[in-house]
Amino acid sequence: MKVFLTRQIAEAGIFLLKKKGFDVFVYNKSKAIPRKDLLDAIKDCDALISLLSDRIDKEVIDKMNNCKVIANYAVGFNNIDVVYAKSKGIIVTNTPDVLTDSTADLTMALVLACARKFPEAEKLVRDYKFKGWQPKLFLGTELRNKYFAILGAGRIGTAVAKRAHSFGCKIIYYSNHKNDEIEKKLDAKKISLNSILKKCDILSIHLPLNKTTHHLLNENNLVFLKKSAIVVNTARGEIVDEKFLLMLLQENKIQSAGFDVYVNEPHIKKEFYKLKNVVLLPHIGSATLEARNEMSVLAAKNVIAVLSGKKAITPV
């Protein structure tokens, strides 16, 4: 059976597939696979391992005559037409859990970078402008006693809440479901979206992208944020009205923002590059050796399970 990968991933998963006797074909160029090449390569594949940057829509799915499983190398799966895949008898899987800690760690790094003005401070040193300690040099904000808002209290949101609580933050959260774990262990409070935006000092976004969350944060509610608020997004760029958030940052109506995700990645609005009160990262939430290896293995195990006639491990 043939397994096609749209990009080179950690070797652990590829080794596992080959060990099980599958023919593994990988698009080896260090860029997203061109649409034409993707459509040509998948015609006779039995399984597809895709990336979040790959648009697996009706056209792609119709080209796969033998495909039984699409294993997305990500926790998100908004790049795949899951409903249409299901109608064609194709199982779609993702890689939850294994990247929770890496993304939660990065979230806190972004929060600290914003709160303590790391990018500006580091640039001053690199520009040979550091002249010694000064009483008012890059005064930042402590996290202790701040209201830390979690938007989406799933696996990653829960992990971030635990980390924020260890810094002395007071946890508030917005979610479709009550999270008993963080309420009992962290004394977290579940409140409405508008209330959370009015109250929070730090807003951390961990929602999936779907029809209900697209532009969930927009000009109608982002105006509730305090001038001292910090916004961090490690989920999906489209959850936020990026244009309006940019305006808030330009006019210093919020303190700062940290981004690991953007609308229309990898294209980033030019105006962001000019701002000192933003931290810009290149979508590296899961970029640890541990997480990427486990993602690779889990994607491979899903493929192996389905092609062996067993149930997928993490179907979406």
Distance CA 256, CA 292 (A): 29
On whether both 121 and 217 belong to a single domain, the answer is yes
On whether both 194 and 57 belong to a single domain, the answer is no
Q: Given this model, what pLDDT does residue 30 score?
A: 85
On whether both 269 and 301 belong to a single domain, the answer is no
Mean pLDDT of the chain: 97
In a domain, 117, yes or no: yes
Low-confidence ranges of the chain (pLDDT < 70): none
On whether both 265 and 302 belong to a single domain, the answer is no
Gyration radius (Cα) of the chain, Å: 21
In a domain, 259, yes or no: yes
Model pTM score = 0.91
On whether both 104 and 89 belong to a single domain, the answer is no
Domain holding 6, by residue range, is 2-96+289-307
Domain count, the chain: 2
Active site residues: 236, 265, 283
Q: Given this model, what pLDDT does residue 20 score?
A: 96
Place of tokens 């971030």: 160
On whether both 200 and 298 belong to a single domain, the answer is no
On whether both 261 and 137 belong to a single domain, the answer is yes
In a domain, 218, yes or no: yes
Q: Given this model, what pLDDT does residue 191 score?
A: 97
